[in-house]
Structure 1
Amino acid sequence: MPTHDRTAPPPGDTAQPGQDSTAQPGKASGKAPPERADRGRFLTGTVWAVLLLGLWLWGRDLTESGSGGAAFGDVSAAGRQLAGERPLPAAHDPVDGTARPVRIDIGALGVHARVIPRALERNGAVAPPPYAAPGVVGWYGGGPTPGARGAAIVVGHVDTDRSRAVFYPLSSVKRGTKVEVTRADGLVTEFTVESTDVVTRGRFDAAEVYGPREDDRAELRLLTCGGTFDRERRAYTSNVVVSAYLTGTRRA
């Protein structure tokens, strides 16, 4: 994670939350100063504690109640059709099987990454992708697999103390963008982005962020850090939440 402030970019801005678009700490020398590196490691734990503890709480509620329910509030409203926008394709029926995802491709953003399963840590949070592997994303293995009914959760870092990470361009993704997730069974699940939101800590609701937007639909949720860097709390103020839904399948 970086060590400096940046406000969340307006729609279409390719610079990302929490990352200065012109400076990458430690890049010129190839080695980050010890103070910055230590702060970057601390930020990693702080940011993911907020994001992934929310995921654990949502999963616990889902287990206890038997149903995660539909999303509601600000996040669900963001996916509504706006006047004059091109209609999005119809949803594809959820597919069978529980094969885990192995690769994600977002051609419009230049994102091509390996997917690894992540489970709950001993403290109850979901383990984030390895900090030493910024080009890898993590799939929450306790939830649906991409293409199955419900919302599959995929998380990735936006940057590290030394460089950009896999989901650095995520906040600039546009409505209608195609996302492909390849599963271990050879099925490529094709999703269409319906909304991108920056969710602050103050309005972070696990049911809204992680729950499905519509019943009986296969959905995909992509998450990373966003907002501004809070120097006092030493953490990002928000998370970027991209919602997509299944619109097709093919064989790899």
Structure 2
Amino acid sequence: MSSAERSAGTGRLLTGVAWAVLLLGLWLWGNGFTGGFGGTSAPTTGDVAAVGRPLGVPLPPALDPLSPAKPDRVEIPSIGIAAPVVPRGLDSAGAIDPPPYAMQNTVGWYGSGTQPGASGAALLVGHVDTETKPAVFYVLSSARPGEKVRVSRADGSVVEFTIDDIQVFGRDRFDPTKVYGPREDGRAELRLITCGGTFDRATGTYNANVVVSAYLTAVVKE
């Protein structure tokens, strides 16, 4: 099945962007734009819905965490995502400042947090769309367990993570520690986050976030 076929139904050209709550009180519910088409960007049931963790998918053992190094690029070959990564800080409201819409095909990394490959959960965020077209994480919700995420790092290494969980979390009953905290102590983990659920025309925001979780399983390039 092609990336386009797999992404059918996972998103529409919706306006605005909403960010979920981050670990330790880093709020990602950002400003949105009104006047859009609205619709559903990802499946959701209740406040937490598993997009897919099918039985029988073999998952490799975790690799021990590596020395820290900043990320330069992220790729998910199975769904056609390949994008540069830039560090982002917090805005005046205490939220992670996402890449501007002029950089809609760029992924933001929370630069004060864990570096991908090091122990803990590194956080990568990206827009699902702009006012007129899909953005970098438009097809993120079509990822599946067992698929690979590759991160190129500033030290020249390329590290590979294996996806083990894809969920949609509603913001009405959001537990940031559960969502963004490490799933297993001592592992190097990754969270890729974008908008999900339904678009609310009245508020100009989405009502949920897609969260793809992965853990370090290989070093592709030293």
After TM superposition, the score normalised by the length of structure 2 is 0.81
Deviations 1:214-246 (A, max 9, x none): 000000000000101112322101100000000
| 2: CA distance, partners of 1:85 / 1:150 | 27
Match of 1:163 among 126, 133, 138: 133
Match of 1:15 among 1, 8, 33: 8
| 1: CA distance, partners of 2:50 / 2:64 | 23
Match of 2:189 among 181, 196, 219: 219
Q: Which residue of 2 aligns with 1:93?
A: 64
CA contact (8 A) 1:147 1:246 kept: yes
Runs of 4+ in 1 over 4 A off after TM superposition: 77-82
* Percent of paired sites with the same residue: 52
1:194 pairs with 2:164: yes
2:71 alignment partner AA: P
Q: Counterpart of 1:108 in 2: which secondary structure?
A: helix
Match of 1:54 among 12, 15, 22: 22
1:115 alignment partner AA: V
Q: Which residue of 2 aligns with 1:231?
A: 201
CA contact (8 A) 2:26 2:94 kept: no
Question: Matched residue pairs, number?
Answer: 199
Give the helix-richer structure, 1 or 2: 1
The root-mean-square deviation of aligned C-alpha atoms, in Å, is 2.5
1:244 pairs with 2:214: yes
Q: Which residue of 2 aligns with 1:108?
A: 78
CA contact (8 A) 1:58 1:210 kept: no
| 1: CA distance, partners of 2:200 / 2:92 | 27
1:203 pairs with 2:173: yes
CA contact (8 A) 1:134 1:166 kept: yes
Q: Which residue of 2 aligns with 1:3?
A: none
Shift of 1:80: 11
Q: Which residue of 2 aligns with 1:63?
A: none
| 2: CA distance, partners of 1:225 / 1:79 | 14
CA contact (8 A) 2:71 2:152 kept: yes
| 1: CA distance, partners of 2:204 / 2:51 | 31
**Which entry has the higher C-alpha Rg, 1 or 2?**
1
CA contact (8 A) 1:146 1:218 kept: yes
Give the strand-richer structure, 1 or 2: 2
CA contact (8 A) 2:152 2:159 kept: yes
Deviations 1:63-122 (A, max 9, x none): xxxxxxxxxxx97x969976x4132000000001x3210000110111110000001122
Deviations 1:5-46 (A, max 9, x none): xxxxxxx951355x43xxx58xxxxxxxxxxxxxx4xx33xx
| 2: CA distance, partners of 1:133 / 1:80 | 29
After TM superposition, the score normalised by the length of structure 1 is 0.72
What are the ranges of 5 or more consecutive residues in structure 1 without an aligned counterpart? 1-11, 26-39, 60-73
1:85 alignment partner AA: G
| 2: CA distance, partners of 1:80 / 1:226 | 15
